[in-house]
Every structure is written in structure tokens, then in C-alpha cells.
Structure 1
Amino acid sequence: MGSLFEKEKAVMSKKYHTVVIGGGCLGAACSFSIRRKLGNKAEKVAIVEKKVLGAGLSSRHSAIVRSANASPMAARMAKIATQYWKNLQPIWGVDIPFEQSGAIWIAESHSGKSSKNWMDLEQAMQKEGIDFTMISHQDVTELTRNAVKIVPEEIYYYEPDVLQLDSPQILNAMQTAAQKNNIDILEHCEVFDFEQDTRNDITALHTSQGKILTKHVVNAAGGWSSELFAGIGLRIPVALEPVYAANFLVSVNDIPESMPIIADYVNQAYFRRWRGSILHMHQPRRRNAKDIARSFSRAAMNPDGANVIYDALSFNVNHQQLDNYLGKIISRFPRIGKPVYAGGYHSFFDITPDLKFILGSDTRVSNLYHCLGAGQALKYAPIFGEIIAELIVEKRMPADSIDIEEFSIARFADKDLSEYWRSDSLQPSAL
């Protein structure tokens, strides 16, 4: 009992420059960048994590880093983030292995609104300096070594600067970087409440390890955000959308190891070859307004909240899900025969009503900053960490080339969220 008391007393006696709530890839990235920008100052940075570092969705990420995005500003940030991932040492103090596999995007047809949306996307990405180009059927055949079924009515785009990372290696890099950057990792530490001063700023967190004092707070809690801040009257519209991921054993005779990632928007599936003999697949985020509304409805009815992520049932698969995925594989990879199932699990996207990030200062609490990825956290982690660090430490907006107003939580202020689901705003041009 004495040692536990001393531990809690030690935590209570600490005052931090910044406390980051959430030990996923975004929370870690924010803490590393903030600590680096503080330089030689003695002020400390802490990550408060209710489980262990990376225990949430960061441990189940498919770890695809790409730039193409329906929002040109999001694409611009993703392009910068991709370069950061290639050379992580200057900002995290560690490097991480990656493969530059490239990606082939498959769209539905040569005609109609869908085709125009993809062509508009191509033009927008090229304006941002992102290599995203329509390619011929012959190019697809050569890039995939004839492994992918080509349909005459489909159109194909190629993005060569797409990276594959590996979740275990990312978690290892986060842990190593936390030590190198002298970040206090307060694991198994759940936040229950906040203290605020007369200006509404957060001055302390009440946690399962006692009271923690701080000057600044970063919300990187993802799907837990809504419940976490409701007690101080903040509405943070985040819900969870389930996604099933599955692995299948394949032969190089079926699918070459060098095959680019396949982003199949006809079959609504991502495919990638990894770890030598595995074909990994998962679904992209749903973009239909009614589906997003249903996700928010489920969130309101779920008594466990985001803790459903830790449910052991998340690692179970039913026959219907498996058959659905087998059908998608067979229809896209005709040489594969019957795939050999090698395990699957449920993961989740933490989504917002318009599927865009929530990034930047809070509108009501001046020392609170949000860093929520809306289902795209990992690819943006390094750039988001840098942006939040500039806002907190350097008291300035990001560089002139980056404008985060589009992603401010202010867009939800005094707004009926159903407006998003009654409009066409949830049908972005392609991605």
C-alpha cells in the first residue's frame, strides 16, 4: 500500500506544460513535437492513457500512408506527412521501416458523375503536386503482374508515392520515441473530470492516479472524446464506425509480393500484400449520409461507449463477414483460387459527421486543443503533431501553406448535426 500511495502522491505533485489525453499515434505525435519545440526548457509533457500506449485503434491500423484526398488541404497535409514518415528522425528522434508500394485506385466507370468526380480529383491532386494519374489497362496489368482482374468499364488511377508501414513497428517506434523525448507516460490512468479557472481554462485533470496539473491539454482521445468532455459542457461529435479486417495466406504465384496496394472502390475494399505471404484487406470508410447517421445513432445507444474497442468479441468473425470478403477477393484476383483464411478482427474508424478531422484550438476552452483523425489518424500523425505543437508552444498558426480552418471544431457550433446527413456534403469526390 505504501508504494502505491507514494506513486499516486508523486503523480499529484507534478505540473506539466502539456498533458495529452490519449496514447495512440496522434497523441504520441503531439507529445513528441511539443517536447521538441520546448527545447531545453525544464517543463514536461505527459501522455495520459487509460490502457497502455497504442492499445486503441493504433494497434489495429492497416498502416497505409497515402496523399489522395477529396479535400485539397487534407491532401496537402498528407503529402507533407508522407515525407515525414520517410524521415521521422528529425521530429520523433527515431526512424521506422516503410515500403513504397504505390497504390492503384479502381473506380466504377468511364461515364457519369462518378467518372467526373475522379477526373476532378486527379486535377486537384496534380495542382497540389501529388502524383495521382489515370493509367491504362495495360499499365495495371504490368504493375500487378496480371494478378488483378481488369473490367473494361472501370477506370484506374495510380499513386506511386504511397507507403506501407506495419502497426507493431509503429508501436515500437512510439515507445522508443517516448523514452528518447523524455515524455511521462501515465498508463492505466483514466480521466474522470477537469478543473477549470474563471476564464474556463483547464487547470487540472482528475484521474485514477490522482490530480494532474497542467497549462495545456491536447484531446487525442478519439472515440472517447464525446463522453470525456461532456461533463464540462463541450460537444465533440465523434462516433465509431466498425470495420472488419481480414488476412489470407497467398502464394507469390497468386499475387506478387511487389503488387501495389489496391484501393478497390468498386468492391469497397482495400487489398495489400504484406509480411511476405499475407493478403490483408479491409473496407474503406462509408460515405453514405444515412450510414454515418446510423453510426452516430449506435454511439448514443452503446452503454460501453468507445470501450467497445477493447471487447474480446472484436476479435471474432462470423461466416457472413468471411464469405463477403472471400467474394471480394475472388472477384478481383481470379488466379487466387480459394483463399486460405488466416485470421480477422473488427476495428473501428472514429468518424465525425462530415468525415473530416477535428484539428486545432477549442472555441470555448482556450488552452484545449483537439487532434482527432476521423478515421485517418495514422497517415497524418507526424504533421498533426507539428501543427498542434506550433499552436501550443510557438503560439502561432501553421505555415502559410497550411490552413486548418476547414477542420476546426467551430464548424459544429450551434449546428444541428442532421444537416450534414440531409445534404450531399458526405459524398466527396472520391476519397
Structure 2
Amino acid sequence: MNKLYHTVVIGGGCLGAACAFSVQRRLGNNRHKVAIIEKKVLGAGLSSRHSAIVRSANASPMATRMAKMATQYWKNLKPLWGVNIPYEQPGAIWIAENTPDSRAESWTALEHMLQQEGIGFAMLAHRDVMDLSRQALKTVPDEIYYYEPDVLQLDSPQILNAMQTAAKKNRIDVLEHCEVIDFAHAEQGISAINTSQGKIFAEHVINAAGAWSAELFAGIGLSIPVALEPVYAANFLVSVDDIPEGMPIIADYVNQAYFRRWRGSILHMHQPRSRNAKDIARSFSRAVMNPEGANVIYDALSFNVTHQQLDNYLGKVINRFPKIGKPVYAGGYHSFFDITPDLKFILGPDTQLTNLYHCLGAGQALKYAPIFGEIIADLIIEGNVTAKSIDIAEFSIDRFSNNDISQYWQSNALKKNSL
């Protein structure tokens, strides 16, 4: 059956949902409708495996500014989505090396920039780190520590439940188990979306398909540089004597691991995105050779781990938490970051098709979801971003148009540390 919508969002993750809710709220109760096309079920992709940490620290001042706004939205989500989500505010301790070749000066510059943006982010003395962690962390002289107090911890199942509830409250048509086959398009834009459930017409189309974007839009000549970077997450059973409740999230850039006390008795950990240019290039080369494309996310093997991976993570836990003894492994899984060559989002209108908008999080989707939804709604309903403090030019897909992607990360990307 053919359907006509004001706006169709492709991708039912946290970004797609946020865009749909914000656009529909602006449209009000008139006849205009918004739909989400989702090939599985709402939130079934990477949003279902998110660490759900909301922070503001970022090497880009504009990304920092948007993250600060997003954090406030998460604290009071109901005006945007019609629902609120419970959260904790444990704050975060950031750990970095303090050696001549560790680029410690970049952390000092980051601290200065974040404070200029009104973000609480300040260096800690070793004794303060021990106090905040209740003596659980190991500190060493050649490390430096920072504290970001306004860091939130959400829970992924609660986020998915809120998305599903908000979709009903906002009268969004959620077309689940609906695959995009191809697009009908003219020079001006996309005229129709051919799906497994029929042809869908829309005045505006939002691409929130994450790692599926490259394959989806290649057929109409759009090059969207997104690839998957694998990440392993592991859970360990702990006691309050090992790691106290209320301990801040630990962003350990020495051991390349995030740690958090989760659901009362679990130490959850995962690795951050790799900033190494060779690793990023490797991820893009894997994308080219992977016949499954982004569907590898749903592979059952993603829930298996090797002894080598487990031993690696056990070593990181023991190294950072000396009181924990031998951690008790409680399960793990592979997830993925959807990354771009420079690890920055792709956000804003397409430069070739006038009714297409991109909302891709580059491994940081959840923390930015509310503000990205508002920005995309601004562009569609108002024609521009209404907040004068926000400039999304840095994140335009146009930044890749004059670069050979294979050369991008060698010449332009990662010139400074990117959180």
C-alpha cells in the first residue's frame, strides 16, 4: 500500500526516534504525519547495546556545546519526547598519561576549552581521585586525572522502552520489519522510497540509518563514508568492598577502557573508539570486504568472546582496581561503533538532494540524540538552525566531497585528540 508522509525517518535507533519526535511535535496535531522505517524493530540496532553514558567532553568546541545542551535535555526529556527517563549522575574521572610523548598538553588545552564552554572539567590531585573512587582506583605518578561532574548514566532497556512509549504518544507511524529496497529520485530530491511494505512518499527524508547508510544510498550515487569499528563489552561481578556504589564512571585512556558500576553489582567495561588513523582505515577496508554489510550487528557470533579478549580485559580490570582480586566474569558481547573517517558526526542537509537530511552519530549517537533531533526539526520546519550558538557546518557531509576518502584520515583527520 502506498503511503504519503510529511517526513520519513530511515532508521529506528535513538537518533531516528529523536528526529521523528521533534519533527512531529513541531507539526502538532494537524494532518501531517511522520513515519520511521525500521528493518527490524524500534531500537534493535546499536541502540540496544549502548553504554548509555552521557557526557559533554569533546575535542570539538561545537560538539561540546551541543553535548551540554543534550545533557540538560536528558535530565528533562518530557517536553521533547513526552516521556522522561530515569538517570544517575555519577560524574566521570578521566585518566591520561603524563609523559613527554603522551600529548599531555592536549589535555590541558581540552580542560581550558571545556571550561570556556561552561563544562565542569578540572584536574584532580591524586588524593582527590582516591577520595572520589573510595580508594578503589590505583593511581600512579605518571598519570593525570580530570573530573567531569555532570556526566549521566542511563540504562539501555529503559531508553528503548521510552522510545517505544514516546512513539505511541507522539503518533509516529513505526513501520517495523520494513526494508528499504531503493529510492525514486529526481535532481531535486527523493520522490519515493520503495520498501518491502510498498512505496512510501515523503516531502522530507531523514537518513538515521547509521552503518547501513553507505549501502542504502550508494544506488542513487551518494557516497556516505560510514564504517563499523568493533568494540567488546564485558561484565564482571563485584562487591561493594571491591568497587563502591556511587563511584564515578572511569574513562581510562591509559588502559583504553571505560569502567562503570552498573545495576548494583556489575563492573561493566568497554573500549573507546580508536583514534589511530591506521585502525580507522582498517575499519573502512573491512567494510568494503564484508558481504553482510552492517547486518553483521545481528550475527549471533557477536555474543561470543575469545579467551584472548577476556584475558586482555581481565588484565585491564586488575591493573586499575587492585582490590578486586581475580574478577568473576559475568558475560560479554561484541558491539560496534559506526564511525566516519574523522570520527565526527554527519549532521545536516545533503548537498545533492534537497529534501534529504543526515543524522549520523559516528559512535556517539545516544548522548546527542535529543539535541540532534531538535536540530534536524529546525532544518525541516524552519529552514535553519534556530539556536544562534549552534553552527553545524563542521559536521556537514560536504566536508568529504572534495577528498578521496582513503586519503582523508592521512591528511585531515585526527590532527588533535578527539574524545
Match of 1:401 in 2: 389
Q: Which runs of 5+ in 1 are unaligned?
A: 1-8
Distance in 2 separating the partners of 1:130 and 1:375: 21
The aligned amino acid for 2:376 is I
Match of 2:126 in 1: 137
Say if 1:244 and 1:283, in contact at 8 Å, map to a contact too: yes
**Normalized against structure 2, the TM-score is what?**
0.99
Match of 2:26 in 1: 37
Distance in 2 separating the partners of 1:165 and 1:427: 32
Match of 1:224 in 2: 212
Match of 1:96 in 2: 85
Match of 1:62 in 2: 51
Say if 1:104 and 1:158, in contact at 8 Å, map to a contact too: yes
Say if 1:117 and 1:430, in contact at 8 Å, map to a contact too: no
Say if 1:288 and 1:427, in contact at 8 Å, map to a contact too: no
Distance in 2 separating the partners of 1:397 and 1:178: 24
Match of 1:18 in 2: 7
CA drift at 1:377 = 0.2
1:78 pairs, out of 50, 67, 82, with 67
CA drift at 1:395 = 1.5
- Offset from partner CA, 1:243-263 (integer Å, 9 cap, x none): 000001000000001100000
The aligned amino acid for 2:135 is N
User: What pairs with 1:97-176 in structure 2 (closer than 5 Å)?
Assistant: 97-109=86-98, 111-112=100-101, 114-176=103-165
Distance in 2 separating the partners of 1:47 and 1:308: 22
CA drift at 1:397 = 2.3
**Normalized against structure 1, the TM-score is what?**
0.96
The aligned amino acid for 2:149 is P
Match of 1:188 in 2: 177
Say if 1:118 and 1:430, in contact at 8 Å, map to a contact too: no
1:326 pairs, out of 314, 331, 337, with 314
User: What pairs with 1:233-244 in structure 2 (closer than 5 Å)?
Assistant: 233-244=221-232
CA drift at 1:424 = 6.3
Distance in 2 separating the partners of 1:410 and 1:395: 18
Distance in 2 separating the partners of 1:348 and 1:124: 29
CA drift at 1:217 = 0.2
Distance in 2 separating the partners of 1:236 and 1:143: 43
- Is 2:374 the counterpart of 1:386? yes
- Offset from partner CA, 1:294-335 (integer Å, 9 cap, x none): 000000000000000000000001100000000000000000
2:353 pairs, out of 365, 371, 382, with 365
Distance in 2 separating the partners of 1:222 and 1:401: 26
The aligned amino acid for 2:40 is K
- Offset from partner CA, 1:9-41 (integer Å, 9 cap, x none): 3xx2x2000000000000000000000011232
The aligned amino acid for 2:92 is A
The aligned amino acid for 2:87 is F
Distance in 2 separating the partners of 1:152 and 1:240: 36
Change (3 A) 1:430 1:47: closer
Q: Secondary structure at the match of 2:103?
A: helix
CA drift at 1:421 = 2.5
- Offset from partner CA, 1:35-93 (integer Å, 9 cap, x none): 00112321000000000000000000000000000001000000000000000000000
1:262 pairs, out of 234, 250, 271, with 250
Distance in 1 separating the partners of 2:16 and 2:98: 40
1:214 pairs, out of 192, 197, 202, with 202
Match of 1:3 in 2: none
The aligned amino acid for 1:385 is G
1:177 pairs, out of 166, 171, 177, with 166
Say if 1:51 and 1:187, in contact at 8 Å, map to a contact too: yes
- Is 2:292 the counterpart of 1:307? no
Say if 2:60 and 2:418, in contact at 8 Å, map to a contact too: no
Q: Secondary structure at the match of 1:99?
A: coil
CA drift at 1:420 = 2.4
Match of 2:417 in 1: 429
CA drift at 1:110 = 5.3
Q: Secondary structure at the match of 1:67?
A: coil
Change (3 A) 1:169 1:275: same
Distance in 1 separating the partners of 2:255 and 2:121: 21
Say if 1:110 and 1:155, in contact at 8 Å, map to a contact too: no
Q: Secondary structure at the match of 1:169?
A: helix
Say if 2:341 and 2:413, in contact at 8 Å, map to a contact too: no
Say if 2:99 and 2:142, in contact at 8 Å, map to a contact too: yes
Distance in 2 separating the partners of 1:427 and 1:99: 34
The aligned amino acid for 2:47 is S
Name segments (4+ residues, structure 1) moved above 6 Å.
Answer: none
- Aligned pair count reads 419
- Is 2:269 the counterpart of 1:281? yes
Match of 1:204 in 2: 192
